[in-house]
Amino acid sequence: MVVIIDLLVQFAQMTLVIALAPLLTGVVRKAKARLTQHRGASVFQPYRDLARLLRKEVVIAHNASWLFRVAPYVIFATTWVAAALVPTFATGLLFSWSADLIAIIALLAGARFFTALAGLDVGTSFGGIGSSREVMIASLAEPAMLMIVFTLALVAGSTQLSTVAAYMLSPQVGLRVSLGLGLVALIIVGIAENARIPVDNPTTHLELTMVHEAMVLEYSGRHLAMIEIAAALKLLLYISLIACVFMPWGLAPEGRHLGAYAAGAAAYVLKLGAAGFALAFFETSIAKMRVFRVPEFLGAALMLGLLATLLLFVSRSF
Amino acid sequence: MTLALGCVAALIAVAGLSLFAGGRPPGSRLVYGACLAVSLVALGAMLAQMQAAPERLALPLGLPWIGANFRLDPLAAAFLAVVNLGGAAASLYALGHGEHEPAPMRVLPFFPAFLAGMNLVVLADDAFTFLFAWEFMSLTSWALVMAHHEKPENLRAGYVYLVMASFGTLCLLLAFALLAGPDGGYAFADIEAGRQARPLAGLILVLVLLGAGSKAGLVPLHVWLPLAHPAAPSHVSALMSGVMTKVAIYGFVRIVFGLLGEPEWWWAMVVLAIGGGTALIGVLYAVMEQDLKKLLAYSTIENIGIVFVGLGLALAFRANRLDSAAALALTAALMHVVNHALFKSLLFFGAGAVLTATGCRDLDRLGGLIHPMPATSLGFLVGAAAISALPPFNGFVSEWLTFQAVLLSPQIPQWGLKLMIPAVGALLALAAALAGACFVRAFGLTFLGRPRGAAAAAAREVDRFSLAAMTILAVLCLLAGILPGLLIDFLAPSVGQLAGARMPRQTELPWLTIVPVAESRSSYNGLLVFLFIASSAWLSAFAIHRLASHALRRSDPWDCGFPDATPGTQYSASSFAQPLRRVFANVGFLARDTVEMPPPGSLRPALFAAEFRDLIWETLYLPIVRGIDAAAGLLNNLQFLTIRRYLALVFGALVSLLLVLAAWS
């Protein structure tokens, strides 16, 4: 019986992330439009876009290989699994121990690996430009992320997100320099990983500035829908991660009743909304960088993460 | 024990008989088939031996006062299992691949001898046997590197390899001399007896790092590796990169953990610094390399760096008596040894298949091979994902364990290590991310896109034996990734032998999770992650094809509406690497991109040049080479003296030696 309830809660988490991800994208778009004096599409527009893409036929290049057709599902599946493993409304879910934070990052790296390969598959120059820039960005963002993980793991004594969240809820956390540095670094990495301004522009139509969009340029129909929803899930994942580690209030602990879960879910939706507005505000108030300024931006995150880890090696109280 | 030695003898016999095989099938098939059979027997014996008690055997061979001593303990059995697994896979691959060999008799006799040499190094139990086997391994592999000696770059590779191998053996010789002491107890048992009071232990460590490290490919002793490994035939490249570097690691582990005595904390500083630097520099070379096999060789250097980081952490923990943490770090290192042997062999097999199908290894002339070679490309893709540390493959597990070991290290009291370990952790993270970039580039430019040359357009899938070898290794990469607990428990006896502790038993945990320390701290379950990914990918594909559209139409590529007629407009090897080169290589490699635009109105074409320099070669090796040249020039003057002057020289040398002797005593 307990196992069944645990399974149900885990299942609820998996469906929750996939149901909320397009909404989050819609909220961010709407907020950006309102902030720039536009009316903007409805917050539910991403769902309609996905439904439309799913109905359409797929048009692929003559020389696209099996990898091109398999990649969207692999990208979606790895991102979904990663997103389902980050605590959203409750900690200590049934399968939360099957992968820790390092594994979640590696899952996202797997999704990126296949996205970059798909960009190279048709053999167009735009696909190549996207892939080559994406791996450059990733080669700095991933180590920065791992240094943030080290920071969290040294503070909380664990790389398990449930344990980290529980520790962050406990009174022994206090204000720490290392966590502050880690938060700044995590936000920078999150912006870069989700192809947001100032690193990349998710709505760009100017080809030479594209990174993520250039890689997926050749996709259409259901394949594009898979990639779009994976991108939305990734944004949700990073916001969930920041919320779970730095704003863990409202997270339902292990083995609670339905009320705690409902409260946790409500708190989670609130956090998502707040983070979505913050992201939209940030994006409208800053200009996009040249692509070779990005390494400096991400290098700052890497250095902040390293500094935070070093401080913790020097003394656990930082 | 007798079985292992019997396998070595059988391999040497095969090497001898292969002289009469004639080089063409069925002769070459018989030789490789015999190698495969012997390697499989040895592999099975070693798997059985892992949990058994150590055995020793002395044969009345070699130097009369030492004899030839052999030992088979869990550590040796683990490495022999790796050697023979790699040997079996390479033999199976060679059953098909060997037929494309232009000069088979230059390969056939040396291949079994090389396998025998590697087995013998691991079995050796005295310094003489060890060094003899080590040199035997070096020379047979040198002969294999020289198999295609008609190309000038292979000649140079063979020469550099021979020089570096001799240098390495010299360092090991000196290390053993210091270990044996003035009494000359060259048997490992005698050396172990002197563990407690070891004079000059630091010097011995440095010598072993130079000796075993030059064979393993530690920076800056790596220069021969990217020349020699790719020069050999591909099944031998796989053995050299996947297996021989592991034998070198065995040498380091055996001497430093087994014979040298209790470690001091600063040893770990040295090993960690070299390991971290090797990982980063190796992958930076790899990410800029254009030659597919050289790229794989540079990536071997990176992985050796990762193993040495694990070994350095184990030394740091061991020096502070944190035995369970040392066991974790050592397990991570040994597991990476096994994993790297699997996926690097697989990748070299794939590169060999590409070479067979197209005749070239230059990334700028490949492309689009996924269409004619679907099975090879799938195998290479698995290898690339595994080496990029992507779950659920095996490379991720060993890197994950290494990171877990890093996270245990704040317990270490020494300040030097406290400051160094996070930095090495960052280097490791950077190397892991760059490895992903490197293999996106390697796979993407080789197998994806449109063919960049006529040879790539005309490629055909390779033979069944090659494909079978690749498939088996790919399956093993996946299995070791989803059932890592089995591998950890398998390595536990060797770890226990060296670290004095072992990781908690993993196979008894529910759901086959691996838990290095405690479940609240960290855990990973490759099986579940694999099942989750597979089931959600299948579920989404099934649901969409069932419920939504499954129509598909082929058309010209979109590419933002640009007509893109020639494959030359695709990204090339150097343009793909350009952002990475610009970010990472402008300091260490002095990478420069220069664009020369013609003045307005001129019809001259614009020129673009990208260059980078190998500073290690230029600042470390070239001065030595020049110095030796200059010294040789000076010594040349001695060649044309009169007999009087020669006699005076001999007399002077004798007197000065006597004076030194007098001053000494």
Q: For A41-96, what is the HEC assignment?
A: CCCCHHHHHHHHHHHCCEEEECCCCHHHHHHHHHHHHHHHHHHHHCCCCECCCCCH
Q: Give chain A's mean pLDDT.
A: 90
**Chain B hits for A112, Cβ within 8 Å:** 436
Confidence category of residue A94, pLDDT binned at 50, 70, 90: confident
Interface probe for B, chosen from A47, A49, A97 (most Cβ of B below 10 Å), is A97
Show which of residues 71-110 on chain B sit within 8 Å of chain A, judged by CB atoms: none
| Among the listed residues B210, B300, B314, the one whose alpha carbon sits nearest the alpha carbon of residue B272 | B314
**Chain B hits for A309, Cβ within 8 Å:** 422, 425-426
How many CB atoms are located within 10 Å of the residue A286 CB? 12
B134 and B99 Cβ atoms separated by less than 8 Å: no
Q: Is the pLDDT of residue A208 over 70?
A: no
The CA distance from B351 to the nearest CA of chain A, in Å, is 18
C-beta atoms of A116 and B444 within 8 A: yes
What is the phi-psi region of residue A56: left when phi exceeds 0, alpha when psi lies from -120 to 50, beta otherwise?
beta
C-beta atoms of A60 and B554 within 8 A: yes
A292 and A193 Cβ atoms separated by less than 8 Å: no
**Chain A hits for B560, Cβ within 8 Å:** 126, 207, 217
The secondary structure element, H or E, covering residue B209 is helix B201-216
Peptide bond preceding B516: is omega within 30 degrees of 0, i.e. cis? no
- Which residue of A lies nearest to B417 if distances are taken between CA atoms? A313
| Among the listed residues B650, B647, B643, B646, the one whose alpha carbon sits nearest the alpha carbon of residue B658 | B650
Integer Cα distance of A27 and A32 in angstroms: 8
**Chain A hits for B570, Cβ within 8 Å:** 123-125, 128
C-beta atoms of A143 and B433 within 8 A: yes
**Chain B hits for A142, Cβ within 8 Å:** 429, 432-433, 436
What pLDDT score was predicted for residue B664?
Answer: 85
> How many angstroms from the chain centroid is the CA of residue A111?
11
Confidence category of residue A305, pLDDT binned at 50, 70, 90: very high
Which member of B367, B390, B445 has the closest CB to residue A113? B390
How are beta strands A58-61 and B552-555 bridged, if at all? parallel
Integer Cα distance of B459 and B469 in angstroms: 20
C-beta atoms of A158 and B523 within 8 A: no
Which member of A61, A117, A142 has the closest CB to residue B557? A61
Q: Which residue has the tokens 């004096």?
A: A37
How many CB atoms are located within 10 Å of the residue B512 CB? 17
Which member of B426, B511, B529 has the closest CB to residue A99? B529
What pLDDT score was predicted for residue A68?
Answer: 95
**Chain A hits for B368, Cβ within 8 Å:** 63, 123
Which member of B385, B430, B556 has the closest CB to residue A62? B556
Q: Average of pLDDT values for A113-123?
A: 94
B249 and B337 Cβ atoms separated by less than 8 Å: yes
The verdict on B559 touching A (C-beta cutoff 8 Å) is yes
How many CB atoms are located within 10 Å of the residue B431 CB? 29
The CA distance from A122 to the nearest CA of chain B, in Å, is 5
| Among the listed residues B21, B99, B144, B109, the one whose alpha carbon sits nearest the alpha carbon of residue B465 | B99
How many CB atoms are located within 10 Å of the residue B626 CB? 10
Which member of B410, B440, B513 has the closest CB to residue A313? B410
Query: Mind giving me the DSSP string for B106-155?
Result: GTTTHHHHHHHHHHHHHHB-BHHHHHHHHHHHHHHHHHHHGGGTTSHHHH
**Cβ pairs A/B, distance under 8 A:** 292
Query: Mind giving me the DSSP string for B219-278?
Result: TTS-TTHHHHHHHS-HHHHHHIIIIIHHHHHHHHHIIIIIIS-S--HHHHHHHHHHHHHH
Show which of residues 415-474 on chain B sit within 8 Å of chain A, judged by CB atoms: 418-419, 421-423, 425-426, 429-430, 432-434, 436-437, 439-441, 443-445, 448-450
Identify the sign of the CA torsion B524, B527, B529, B532.
negative
ipTM: 0.95
Which member of B367, B534, B540 has the closest CB to residue A76? B540
B473 and B89 Cβ atoms separated by less than 8 Å: yes
Angle among Cα B61, B56, B137 to the nearest 5 degrees reads 55
Q: Is the pLDDT of residue A67 over 80?
A: yes
**Chain B hits for A127, Cβ within 8 Å:** 559, 571
For residue B375, the one-letter residue type is: A
What is the phi-psi region of residue B421: left when phi exceeds 0, alpha when psi lies from -120 to 50, beta otherwise?
alpha
C-beta atoms of A207 and B567 within 8 A: no
The CA distance from A228 to the nearest CA of chain B, in Å, is 14
Q: Would you give the DSSP letter of residue B568? A: G
How many CB atoms are located within 10 Å of the residue A57 CB? 12
Integer Cα distance of A291 and A172 in angstroms: 41
| Among the listed residues B477, B400, B389, B481, the one whose alpha carbon sits nearest the alpha carbon of residue B433 | B389
What pLDDT score was predicted for residue B63?
Answer: 80
Partners of A90 in the β-ladder: A252
What is the phi-psi region of residue B255: left when phi exceeds 0, alpha when psi lies from -120 to 50, beta otherwise?
alpha
Specify the 3-state DSSP secondary structure of B426: helix
Which member of B523, B541, B571 has the closest CB to residue A160? B523
Which member of B377, B441, B544 has the closest CB to residue A222? B544
**Chain B hits for A217, Cβ within 8 Å:** 558-560
Residues of chain B with pLDDT under 70: 23, 564
Interface probe for A, chosen from B549, B582, B586 (most Cβ of A below 10 Å), is B549
What pLDDT score was predicted for residue B569?
Answer: 85
C-beta atoms of B406 and A150 within 8 A: yes
Integer Cα distance of B246 and B83 in angstroms: 8
Peptide bond preceding A46: is omega within 30 degrees of 0, i.e. cis? no
Partners of B72 in the β-ladder: B55
Integer Cα distance of B338 and B502 in angstroms: 18
The CA distance from A295 to the nearest CA of chain B, in Å, is 7
Integer Cα distance of B444 and B437 in angstroms: 10
The dihedral over CA atoms of B402, B408, B412, B414, expressed in degrees to the nearest 10, equals: 50
Integer Cα distance of A83 and A105 in angstroms: 10
Tokens of B469: 């070898």
Integer Cα distance of B341 and B80 in angstroms: 12
C-beta atoms of B578 and A132 within 8 A: yes
What are the angstrom distances between the C-alpha of A33 and each of A38, A213, A288, B157? 5, 20, 17, 62
Specify the 3-state DSSP secondary structure of B476: helix
Which member of A63, A113, A218 has the closest CB to residue B558? A218
The verdict on B580 touching A (C-beta cutoff 8 Å) is yes
What pLDDT score was predicted for residue B23?
Answer: 65
Query: Mind giving me the DSSP string for B396-422?
Result: HHHHHHHHHHHHTGGG---HHHHHHHH
Q: Which residue has the tokens 């449930």?
A: A162
Tokens of A273: 């909304």
B383 and B343 Cβ atoms separated by less than 8 Å: yes
C-beta atoms of B571 and A129 within 8 A: yes
This prediction has a pTM of 0.95
Interface probe for B, chosen from A3, A65, A69 (most Cβ of B below 10 Å), is A65
What are the angstrom distances between the C-alpha of A120 and each of A114, A179, A219, B119, B239? 10, 38, 12, 42, 31
How are beta strands B68-72 and B607-611 bridged, if at all? unpaired
C-beta atoms of B523 and A207 within 8 A: no
What are the angstrom distances between the C-alpha of B182 and each of B176, B199, B577? 11, 11, 54
**Chain A hits for B449, Cβ within 8 Å:** 120-123, 128
Which member of A56, A159, A207 has the closest CB to residue B560? A207
- Which residue of B lies nearest to A303 if distances are taken between CA atoms? B426
B274 and B214 Cβ atoms separated by less than 8 Å: no
For residue B212, the one-letter residue type is: A
What are the angstrom distances between the C-alpha of A3 and each of A90, B397, B622? 16, 28, 67
Specify the 3-state DSSP secondary structure of B68: strand
Which member of A54, A58, A113 has the closest CB to residue B440? A113
